[in-house]
Amino acid sequence: MQKPYIILEGNVEYTLGHIQNNLIIYDFDKILVYLNAKGKLLFGAGFKLFDEDSEIVFRLCNYMIRDEANCKKLDMDVRKGVLLTGPVGCGKTSLMKLLRHIVPHQKPYKMMPSRNIVFGFNHIGYKTIEDFGNGQCFCFDDLGVEPMGRHYGKDCNVMGEVLLSRYDLFLGYSIKTHATTNLNAQELEERYGIRVRSRMRELFNLVAFDDGSKDKRT
């Protein structure tokens, strides 16, 4: 029988928890050991999780494993997606790429740079918006810094339209959407308008790095 809390990477086995009363009880310290190891495999030997980010990692891990009791304490709604915000280089994209690996039994979300979606729109038009309004779970990376879309001379705020489609999916089918962004709430509202910003409050749990978080890429 497959045990989703035991993950094999090469010849190394990582046990992230144990079964108790038919529930997986995860061990956060063991999850951290696995995340650091998996991060090195994905991003290179220099990867590491920083102590200063432990609170954010803890919040996101509890969300990913769907620990409803802890999420309630952390003011996280497991039905919603995650909007991970913070300054450039603080590690948002790497974290979202990494964390999906601790729950191999769940259908993974697909990482998609927001600018690539706009480039697709510029090439093939509104079908692009339909394609990202489907039943798959996505994480839109670098939301808010993508260019305006333009197809056959007509401008379109592509990601704003995609988010409205994702909101309808969330309401109708409980399909989650995740995103990372460098922008704050006011900047997002200026970029997408009040209507989309209102929908984003319902779509996402906000998880924010401190404004002073250092650039991990330097």
State residue 39's pLDDT score: 97
**Is the pLDDT at 1 greater than 60, yes or no?**
no
* pLDDT bucket at 218, cuts 50 / 70 / 90: low
**Could you write out the DSSP letters of every residue in 126-146?**
THHHHHTTSSS-EEEETTT-S
Helices 158-173 and 194-203: angle between axes, nearest 10 degrees: 40
Averaged confidence pLDDT in the chain: 94
**Global pTM value:** 0.94
CATH 3.40.50.2300 fits 6-208, yes or no: no
In the structure, how many helices (H) and strands (E) does the chain have?
9, 11
